């Protein structure tokens, strides 16, 4: 699916209005123009209004959801600030509780990210081995691919409805380099590629990210 077709597809989806419409259009404007990388959401300090890419940093799949929501006006800079306050607070608390290690491993970090992004209360869509009729997430929801190898947020996309997602470039554990650069892709396609790492669970947020209330002061 190309961007023009994606816009037409989105316009035909129930719920394509208000903040959802603005965020989806923000994502479609930027997908394919972003650099993929593992910098965290604290890069919001260098985000610039109406920019296609974060100028000084690369964005991963789930940070891109925040980036698109910010550009779409669904979340504010204070939301991002609150995200970082919660993240740092909870990581620090975990380190203080484990004085012998003085560290916070990736599983503990994932627990915080999952809570802030709504993955820990997400609704089940299916697995990489189930039929495609289950993969229809409403437009604007965050879709998670949970891998037995790389964790609960192995890959994240923004639903376009009708079984499609907007995705920032990469699908971890994927060996098809062409697919790594496909920003508009069906959930079924990601599921098929992910099967070689096991039966990955696919879930979606109960509401769009900005309606979950996870980063309210």
CA 214 to chain centre: 15
> Quick check: is 102 in a domain?
yes
- In this predicted model, which residue has the larger pLDDT, 108 or 164? 164
The structure tokens 């990469």 sit at: 170
Q: What is the largest CA-CA distance in the chain?
A: 55
Position 216 in a domain:
no
Residue-level pLDDT at 169: 64
- Choice between 197 and 121, residue whose per-residue pLDDT is larger: 121
Domain boundaries, position 206: 3-211
Measured between its terminal Cα atoms, the distance across the chain in Å is 39
Whether 217 is in a domain gets the answer no
Q: Which of 26-30, 134-138, 162-166, 204-208 has the weakest average pLDDT?
A: 134-138
Q: Which two tokens stand for residue 110?
A: 């994932």
| Number of domains the chain is built from | 1
Residue 19: the pLDDT is: 96
With contact defined as beta carbons under 8 Å apart, do 142 and 117 qualify? Answer: yes
Average pLDDT over residues 50-54: 77
User: Does residue 93 sit within a domain?
Assistant: yes
Structural contact between residues 211 and 138, judged by C-beta atoms closer than 8 angstroms? no
Q: Which residues, at least 6 apart from 84, have a Cβ–Cβ distance to it below 8 Å?
A: 41, 42
Structure tokens at 116: 């802030």
Cβ-based neighbours of 126, under 8 Å, separated by 6 or more: 134, 135, 191, 202
pLDDT tens for each residue of 156-212: 899 999 889 888 865 544 444 444 445 777 777 777 766 665 677 889 999 999 999
Kindly tell me if the per-residue pLDDT of 99 is higher than 70: no
Residues 6 or more apart in contact with residue 50 via CB below 8 angstroms = 71
Half-sphere CA count of 52, side-chain side, radius 13 A: 8
Mean pLDDT (the chain) is: 79
Entry pTM = 0.86
The whole-angstrom separation of Cα 91 and Cα 141 is: 27
Q: How far apart are CA 85 and CA 110, in angstroms?
A: 16
Residue with more model confidence, 11 or 136:
11
Task: Answer whether residue 28 is part of any domain.
Answer: yes
Exposed/middle/buried for 176, CB within 10 Å: 0-12, 13-18, 19+?
exposed
Report the pLDDT averaged over residues 6-15: 91
Mean pLDDT, residues 25-49 taken together: 79
Q: Please state which of the ranges 11-25, 60-74, 140-154, 192-206 shows the lowest mean pLDDT.
A: 192-206
Which pLDDT does position 53 carry in this prediction?
75
**Which pLDDT score, from 0 to 100, does residue 133 have?**
56
């Amino acid at each position: 699916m190309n961007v023009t077709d994606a816009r037409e597809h989105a316009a035909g989806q129930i719920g394509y209005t208000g903040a959802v419409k603005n965020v989806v259009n923000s994502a479609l404007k930027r997908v394919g123009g972003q650099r993929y990388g593992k910098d965290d959401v604290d890069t919001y300090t260098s985000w610039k209004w109406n920019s296609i890419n974060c100028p000084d940093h690369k964005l991963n799949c789930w940070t891109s959801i925040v980036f698109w929501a910010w550009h779409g006006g669904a979340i504010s800079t204070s939301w991002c600030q609150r995200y970082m306050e919660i993240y740092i607070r909870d990581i620090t608390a975990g380190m203080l509780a484990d004085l012998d290690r003085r560290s916070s491993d990736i599983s503990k970090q994932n627990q915080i990210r999952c809570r802030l992004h709504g993955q820990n209360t997400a609704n089940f869509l299916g697995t990489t081995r189930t039929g495609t009729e289950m993969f229809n997430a409403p437009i604007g929801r965050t879709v998670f691919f949970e891998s037995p190898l790389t964790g609960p947020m192995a890959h994240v996309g923004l639903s376009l409805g009708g079984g499609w997602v907007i995705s920032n470039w990469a699908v971890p554990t994927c060996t098809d380099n062409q697919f790594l650069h496909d920003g508009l892709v069906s959930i079924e396609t990601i599921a098929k590629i992910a099967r070689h790492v096991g039966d990955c669970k696919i879930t979606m947020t109960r509401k769009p990210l900005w309606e979950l209330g996870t980063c309210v002061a």
